[in-house]
């Protein structure tokens, strides 16, 4: 027997009753009703309010208050459908609206590869531009070999997380060919530029790589999660590396061609079919539509940078190569005081305070971070198909409003 908790007319949970386990545990009519109502909530809270510029990007609550609001406690007895639907509504309401026009964060976390993480040698780097230096890479490989090491892999980046830097793939491919090294391109963020005739030159040489990783859920805004790994190798390499050949999962004596079974070559056996999201989106908007998304992002970046240069207090880290705009906001109290001993320490505190204010007021979301010897700066990524020039003007006005008294 299992417990069922009936609800009284005033909504109070009554003492549980026992259920006959010889009967079905699932009421399909009740489940259908729940899904229908939950879907209405998701459409209202996520799709309508979540993309409405007049709504807040986030509804801030302190963690303890939010835990109480959501009632995170788990109990022996289940809750009635009405309360479950309220949980769905609350979770949607208090989640950050990542599809909002004023959500300027990238839809993923992590550190800036900055031509460092996963690479052969960290010294092979142009620090100011965030790009790998092929000549230095070649020298370090030679040095490593002379010390008895066996290098085998170089990981390039097309679109680093913070600065949006693109490595010179053609030149790196020359080095990899010279030393017979596997060349991988992490194009998770920047790979979508290949859809644009105007901007695909940023990935010139990608066709010479042995493997390329790409996330359509980032710049193209495909549904999370949608990831691609492209291999030049045509010998079914993934299956050779990951095949478990488990007879209880992948029988070889089926009535159809078992080569059609792709589960045994996936890195994660039970992974959902990411390609369906990309295929449906591509079918819906076509290659031209995807190209427009990329070109629109670059157009908005140019506009945003132009407007920044017309205003006092905005200082670019460097001219953007991609759709990442990295900048400091210098509040009036710090302008003209760059020579003061405490200037950098004071500047480092500006972005965190502005971020706290924007989150608590729910007006927008934008990330910040330090990089090397550079103190905290903002990083705005401009790639949402919903963004207009009006939203970018709002972004600049809001940074000024939130930071003018610092």
Does 37 map to a domain?
yes
Residues 248 and 316 in one domain: no
CATH number reported for the structural domain that contains residue 82 in this entry:
3.90.1150.170
In a domain, 187, yes or no: yes
One domain for residues 379 and 326 = yes
- Domain C-terminal end among 252, 278, 304: 278
| Confidence tier at 140 by pLDDT (50, 70, 90) | very high
Question: Does residue 118 belong to any structural domain of this protein?
Answer: no
- Please give the radius of gyration of the chain, using alpha carbons only, rounded to the nearest integer: 26
pTM for this structure? 0.80
Shared-domain flag, residues 321 and 347? yes
- Integer Cα distance of 4 and 14 in angstroms: 9
Could you tell me the residue range of the domain that residue 7 belongs to? 2-94
Identify whether residues 298 and 274 lie together within a single domain: no
Looking at the fold, whether 17 and 70 belong to one and the same domain comes out as yes
Number of domains in the chain: 3
Q: What is the dihedral of CA 83, 89, 91, 97, to 10 degrees?
A: 180
For residue 106, is it within any domain? no
- pLDDT per residue as tens digits for the range 36-49: 999 999 899 888 88
168, 89: one domain: no
> Do residues 87 and 167 both lie within one domain?
no
Residue 206 and residue 185 in contact, taking contact as beta carbons nearer than 8 Å: yes
Q: Considering the domain boundaries, does residue 350 fall inside one?
A: yes
- Asked whether the predicted pLDDT for residue 124 surpasses 70, the reply is no
Is 100 part of any domain?
no
Q: Do 255 and 290 share a structural domain?
A: no
Tokens of 238: 């993934």
> Does a structural domain hold residue 48?
yes
Given a contact cutoff of 8 angstroms between Cβ atoms, the answer to whether 382 and 296 are in contact is no
pLDDT in tens, 88-121: 899 888 888 888 888 887 654 333 333 333 334 4
């Amino acid at each position: 027997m299992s417990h069922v908790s009936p609800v009284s007319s005033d909504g109070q949970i009554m003492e549980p009753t026992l259920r006959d386990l010889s009967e079905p545990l699932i009421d399909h009519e009740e489940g259908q009703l729940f899904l229908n109502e939950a879907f209405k909530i998701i459409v209202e809270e996520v799709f309508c309010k979540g993309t409405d510029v007049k709504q807040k990007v986030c509804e801030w609550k302190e963690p303890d208050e939010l835990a109480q609001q959501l009632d995170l406690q788990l109990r022996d007895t289940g809750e009635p459908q009405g309360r479950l639907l309220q949980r769905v509504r609350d979770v949607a309401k208090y989640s950050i609206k990542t599809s909002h026009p004023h959500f300027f964060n990238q839809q993923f976390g992590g550190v800036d590869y900055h031509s460092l993480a996963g690479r052969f040698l960290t010294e092979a780097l142009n620090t100011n531009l965030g790009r790998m230096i092929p000549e230095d890479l070649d020298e370090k490989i030679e040095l490593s070999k002379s010390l008895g090491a066996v290098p085998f892999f170089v990981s390039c980046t097309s679109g680093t997380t913070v600065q949006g830097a693109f490595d010179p793939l053609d030149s790196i491919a020359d080095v990899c060919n010279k030393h017979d090294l596997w060349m991988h391109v992490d194009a998770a963020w920047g790979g979508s530029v290949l859809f644009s005739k105007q901007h695909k030159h940023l990935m010139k040489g990608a066709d010479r790589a042995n493997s390329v990783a790409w996330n359509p859920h980032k710049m193209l805004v495909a549904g999370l999660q949608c990831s691609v790994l492209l291999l030049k190798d045509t010998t079914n390499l993934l299956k050779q590396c990951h095949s478990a050949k488990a007879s209880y999962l992948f029988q070889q004596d089926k009535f159809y061609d078992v080569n059609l079974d792709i589960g045994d070559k996936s890195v994660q056996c039970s992974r959902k079919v990411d390609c369906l999201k990309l295929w449906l989106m591509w079918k819906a908007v076509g290659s031209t539509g995807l190209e427009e998304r990329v070109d629109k992002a670059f157009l908005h970046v140019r506009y945003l940078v132009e407007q920044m240069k017309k205003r006092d207090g905005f200082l670019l880290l460097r001219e953007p190569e991609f759709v990442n705009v990295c900048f400091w906001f210098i509040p009036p109290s710090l302008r003209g005081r760059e020579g003061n001993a405490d200037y950098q320490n004071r500047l480092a505190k500006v972005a965190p305070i502005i971020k706290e204010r924007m989150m608590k007021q729910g007006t927008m979301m934008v990330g910040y971070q330090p990089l090397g010897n550079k103190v905290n700066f903002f990083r705005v990524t401009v790639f949402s198909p919903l963004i207009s020039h009006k939203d970018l003007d709002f972004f600049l006005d809001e940074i000024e409003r939130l930071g003018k008294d610092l």
